[in-house]
Structure 1
Amino acid sequence: MIGWLLFFFLLFLASLAYASYKSYRKNRSSEEFMLAGSNIGTILGFLTFSAALFSAFTFMGMPDFFRVHGVGAWIFLGFSDALMVFFILWFGYALRKRAAEVGYQGVAGFVQSCFRNKWAGYLVFASSFLFLIPYVAIQIRGISIFLNASFPDLLPYWGWSALLVIIMLVYSEIGGLKAIMYSDAIQGVILLVVIWIIGVTCLTMAGGVEAGTQAVLESNEALLSLPGPKGLFSPAFLIASTIAIMMIPVSQPQFTTRLVVMKNLKSVHKMAYAVGIFAILVILPTAFIGLYGAVKYPDASTADFLSSALLFDQANPVAALAVVGLFAACLSTTNAQIFALGTELRSLLSGDDKRNMRITKLGILVFSLIVLVFSSLISDELVLLARVSFAGTSMIAPVVLSAVIFKNPPKSILILSALGLSYFVLSLLGWVPAGFAGLPTDAAMYLILIPATSILMLLHHSKTKKLHAA
């Protein structure tokens, strides 16, 4: 297997080197470095968006999620992603139209310009920092669990994490956002191919869909129904998850920026449709792997199940390709999100461009070191941790939506989102009740934020209309 591993790794690293070379410009502006020149076509746009959305947590987290919590995992992710695709069709149009009016260097700076209020930008940046750092750490945690369990004598846990971060820093420094997008494209293709090979293999080893389902039915019938054996998939959980995932293009800056840097609106719409198809194709085989795990490894730890199903139970070439695929998935997502934090920081700076770029690159280094530390502190519930990240950033979605919809957005939205974000963070720390009215925190917050945001927007629209009429 070592021979296959070296072969695939060399191919992957060679493709990264070529992408870096193609993306490098000696005297590039910050616009070229941070926003890829805002001229991304449909195919690259679709692959970079999909790869950032479906990453190591999909490859590793979703099979384990199916194994532990059952078929509700398909509804949790599949249905939510489908709705997100339809939402992108409207949001992409409205965002690009508004960005053309006020300019765009990042979501935080964009919101700051729209509200004409520096605290609006700080609020968006704080949300991104608080929840993207854990999300990036999830990727590193996931791949480190897998690699450390699979190759216990090769590198210590922290060694795998450090290797990922070093490659990410070097790669992003050389090529900027364009190189990261090429990396995403490579990763997206590898992810789709590998996950289907492993998914079909696992389904065959489970005896096929019918035999595998029957075995699960006999051992743990609750896996095949809602709310699942642990009662996770309640209506409140599924509705809140759908809202959080739908808001990803609004509240997660790496996705918002990708909508802006597409070369035209037609490319955005084609990209959205392609992402929907990719979502179905990439989630389905994770269910096959999860079914196999429920049959053969019902009581195994996450690390044991993943290392067995993705590595030890596969043929050597497939196992080697799985390692490279996971490494690529983790690298591209880590790249995208750390770089997105750098973009957000850059969008809040003013003054000399070269000075701002130095500060931005230093910021990316600091963010990477924080991620390294955080990755050693989080648990193995990769999908649930990813969902917390989506839910946390969605608390500031009213701010971004208001900036996109209104020429002079209401300041009251800033207060509403700040209170929502603060309560969500404090609930995670255990300083305030985690949920109320019999609902989990995110669902309860949406029950307040959605009607409150709607009322404030309607009042603002009415007031603006009367002023124009006068």
Structure 2
Amino acid sequence: MSITLISALIALVVYLLALLWLGAQSLGGQTGSADSYFLADRRLRAGVLFFTLIATNFSAFFFLGFAGAGYRIGIAYYPMMALGTGLAALSFGSLGCRVRSLSAKHGLITPSELIGHLLPAEGLRLLVLSVMVLFTLPYLALQPLGAGYLLESLTGGAVPFGVGAALLTVVIVIYVVGGGMRAVARTDVLQGVLMFLLMLMAFVAVANGVGGIEKANLTLLQQLPDLFSGAGLGGFFTPRVMASYLLLWPLCLPMFPQMLMRFFAAGDDRSLKQSMVLYPVVAGVLFICPVLIGMWGHLAFPDLVGRASDQVMPLMLGRYSPEWLTGIVMVGALAAFMSTLDSQLLALSSMLTRDLYKRYWRPQASLAEQVRVGRLAVIALAVAGLVIALRPPEAILSLATHAFSGLAVLFPMLVGAVYGLRWTVAGAMVSVLGGEAVLLGLALGGIPESFQMGYLPLIPALVVACIVLGVDQLVAYWRRA
């Protein structure tokens, strides 16, 4: 048995036991109410709130995808992601405080309840619920899928894919069912710290292995100067693609239900604002690490093609870091998977419980009954995600790749409503449906690619959504006049 495997198994066991212990510690603070289970009594303060926001958002793409993009594109990927994340923090700060205030004042727990309060209409509530579930559930299924493959690779096949995916899912279900948002937030602190420290350790180890940052970059500059260009290898970042990415993150990230519910759970505006200040600073420091590791991958593995480049992080660790460190760092990637999955499970379970079960099936359901149903929903969603992960249909994978754009279409309608714009129900619904129809048409080929005019598909979808809302306001103004 190799040192890498031994260190990985020890780190994995310690990590999973720590998650279960933190989950057990969260049992005592619950009051039995829906607020307590789904939102931790709306008392998350700055430190915990920051970690739960960042751990929820940083999936394993931070470990594996960023390095792969650094390999395929170059240093240009870093400012796009760092600046986009900074803009997302501004979006969180401005939107989050208003959402927190509204949700606390009116006892709102889910995004659908928020939009139902702002624009009372059953059809619109159900539309928002459907869009969020449609694009979040496939993304949820990708987490056990990726975690299972990573664990299988990490242990050299000693833990098969299916067993690994099931094991990690069971651990998450235990602490989410038991402790709700309080357990998720506490485990997010551990997982966030692990992600940060292990990424920094990986960076230092690989940087030393390639002879230092300056030497590696100078060598690459001579061999592949386009890695350091503003457009990246192959001219990936055209000005229009850059603009698309800079709009994508601040518009899509707040629309994930698990992110919106962090705003609901914040203890006060000050905690939210402090978290938003830390968010881009930490992201700006950390994002450069996997991107540079990916770029340096050309020095050791010059022939990686396409998605094979997403394996450049474990390949570089295997080549340049001590054997014991490779396994431990990959546990950090598992933490990224799990911190995203637990938040998605809790968010979707709250929506199924409050927006479907309580609203349409059992309006008289007590707070304790809602918590019981929420726990059952966590289990059901986890099983569904695991089943999908074991045999993922092509349609599910396609939906997951469009999740960010699909959710971003909600942004103009929802944010306008939060800031006091009174869309008509018809205008709000047509805005969302029109934007989603554009995304669907572009994905299926029904709308020619030229319609994008060089932008990502999100941009024409947003243009259509905003035009509909603009016309809606003009018509309403003319009617009032």
- Indicate the residue corresponding to 2:375 in structure 1: 361
Could you tell me how far 1:98 is from its partner in structure 2? 2.7
Could you tell me how far 1:187 is from its partner in structure 2? 0.6
CA distance in 2 between partners of 1:206 and 1:373 (Å):
42
Q: Give the share of equivalent positions with the same residue, in percent.
A: 20
- Indicate the residue corresponding to 2:434 in structure 1: 419
8 A Cα contact 2:27 2:179, kept in partner: yes
Could you tell me how far 1:96 is from its partner in structure 2? 2.4
CA distance in 1 between partners of 2:142 and 2:349 (Å):
19
- Indicate the residue corresponding to 2:402 in structure 1: 388
- Indicate the residue corresponding to 2:459 in structure 1: 443
Q: Which amino acid aligns with 2:321?
A: Q
Could you tell me how far 1:144 is from its partner in structure 2? 3.3
Note closer, same or farther for the CA distance 1:385–1:66 as it changes in structure 2 (3 Å cut).
farther
CA distance in 1 between partners of 2:43 and 2:466 (Å):
34
Structure 1 residues 281-300: aligned runs within 5 Å = 281-300=285-304
Does 2:163 match 1:159?
yes
Structure 1 residues 228-247: aligned runs within 5 Å = 228-247=232-251
Note closer, same or farther for the CA distance 1:321–1:436 as it changes in structure 2 (3 Å cut).
same
- Indicate the residue corresponding to 2:140 in structure 1: 136
Q: Which amino acid aligns with 2:174?
A: V
Partner of 1:105, secondary structure, is coil
Structure 1 residues 208-357: aligned runs within 5 Å = 208-300=212-304, 301-302=308-309, 304-311=311-318, 313-348=320-355, 349-350=358-359, 351=363, 352-353=365-366, 354-357=368-371
Q: Which amino acid aligns with 1:305?
A: V
- Indicate the residue corresponding to 1:56 in structure 2: 60
8 A Cα contact 1:149 1:303, kept in partner: no
- Indicate the residue corresponding to 2:154 in structure 1: 150
CA distance in 1 between partners of 2:388 and 2:226 (Å):
34
Partner of 1:263, secondary structure, is coil
Note closer, same or farther for the CA distance 1:71–1:447 as it changes in structure 2 (3 Å cut).
farther
Could you tell me how far 1:188 is from its partner in structure 2? 0.5
Note closer, same or farther for the CA distance 1:294–1:372 as it changes in structure 2 (3 Å cut).
farther
Note closer, same or farther for the CA distance 1:192–1:90 as it changes in structure 2 (3 Å cut).
same
CA distance in 2 between partners of 1:236 and 1:280 (Å):
23
Does 2:410 match 1:406?
no
Partner of 1:298, secondary structure, is coil
Note closer, same or farther for the CA distance 1:463–1:309 as it changes in structure 2 (3 Å cut).
farther
Could you tell me how far 1:373 is from its partner in structure 2? 4.3
CA distance in 1 between partners of 2:353 and 2:381 (Å):
13
CA distance in 1 between partners of 2:413 and 2:349 (Å):
20
Partner of 1:207, secondary structure, is coil
Note closer, same or farther for the CA distance 1:117–1:286 as it changes in structure 2 (3 Å cut).
same
Note closer, same or farther for the CA distance 1:370–1:435 as it changes in structure 2 (3 Å cut).
farther
Could you tell me how far 1:406 is from its partner in structure 2? 2.2
CA distance in 2 between partners of 1:254 and 1:186 (Å):
18
> Higher mean Cα deviation, 329-338 or 91-100?
91-100
CA distance in 2 between partners of 1:42 and 1:368 (Å):
29
Gaps of 5+ in 1: none
Note closer, same or farther for the CA distance 1:437–1:333 as it changes in structure 2 (3 Å cut).
closer
Could you tell me how far 1:79 is from its partner in structure 2? 0.7
8 A Cα contact 2:24 2:175, kept in partner: no
Could you tell me how far 1:220 is from its partner in structure 2? 3.0
Q: Which amino acid aligns with 1:395?
A: V
- Indicate the residue corresponding to 1:5 in structure 2: 8
8 A Cα contact 1:205 1:292, kept in partner: no
TM-score (norm 1): 0.89
Does 2:77 match 1:73?
yes
Could you tell me how far 1:182 is from its partner in structure 2? 0.9
Note closer, same or farther for the CA distance 1:229–1:449 as it changes in structure 2 (3 Å cut).
same
Length, aligned pairs only:
462
